[in-house]
Amino acid sequence: MKPVRTNPSLRIVGIGLCLAALSFGSWPADARADGGTVRVTAETSGYRISVFTSPTPIRVGPLDTSVFVQDAETGNPIGEAGISVHVVRRAQPSRSIDATATHEAATNKLLQAAVLTLTSPGWSDVSVQVDGPHGPAQVRFEVEVAEPLPPWRVLWPWFSWPAAVVLLFGVQQLLVHRQLR
C-alpha cells in the first residue's frame, strides 16, 4: 500500500478550519463590562466619571456596570472613591435595584464594578453616585432593557459544535479523496 501524501496547502486549510471551529465555541455569551459600552462620561464636582455597561444590548438578567473615576484637572485615577449604582424602572419608580461597586468585582483594577440583576424589560434610569476626596457627585443616564434571550439562543453553541466537527471531517475526507484521484 502506498503512503498517502497530502498537499501542504490543503493541510493549512484543514488546520485553519479546525482552529476556526474550536474558537467559534469559545466566544463568551456573557461578557463583562471592563471594556463594555460607554454609557456616559461626565465632569462634575471635580471628577471625570465614565460608566461602562455590559452586555449590549442590555437585557433582563445580569447587568455588569463598571465605573472609572478620575480627577477632572489632572486625569489621574481616583481609586478610593465610594461608588453606588441605582437602577429605577420608569414603570415602577418606587422600587430600585442598588449595588455598591468595588475593585474586587472589576477585572481592570482601575475600575470599580457592580453586577445588578434586572428583572423586567422597559426603560430604566440609572444613577451612579461617587463619594471621594472632592465630595459627592452623581451622573445619570437612561437605558432600555430588552427581553431576555430565549434559552436556545444562549445554548446553541453547545449543541451545534458536534455538527461543526462532522462538517470538518467531511471536508477533510473530500479533500483526501480528490487528491487520491
| Residue 71 belongs to domain with CATH number | 2.60.40.3340
Domain-embedded: residue 83: yes
Domain-embedded: residue 5: no
pLDDT at position 132 is 94
Q: Specify whether the CB–CB gap between 145 and 87 falls below 8 A.
A: no
Edge-to-edge strand ranges of the sheet holding 112-118: 37-44, 47-54, 61-71, 112-118
Domain-embedded: residue 162: no
Could you write out the DSSP letters of every residue in 87-109?
EEETT-TT-EEEEEEBSTT-SST
Over 80: is that where the pLDDT of 176 sits? yes
Average pLDDT for residues 50-79, to the nearest whole number?
A: 94
Domain-embedded: residue 51: yes
Q: Which residue segment(s) compose the domain that 57 sits in?
A: 37-151
Predicted confidence (pLDDT) per residue in 143-170, tens digit: 999 999 888 877 877 878 888 888 889 9
Over 60: is that where the pLDDT of 4 sits? no
Over 60: is that where the pLDDT of 25 sits? no
pTM over 0.75: no
Distance from C-alpha of 86 to C-alpha of 128, rounded to nearest angstrom: 6
Domain-embedded: residue 166: no
The two beta strands, 96-101 and 82-89, are: antiparallel
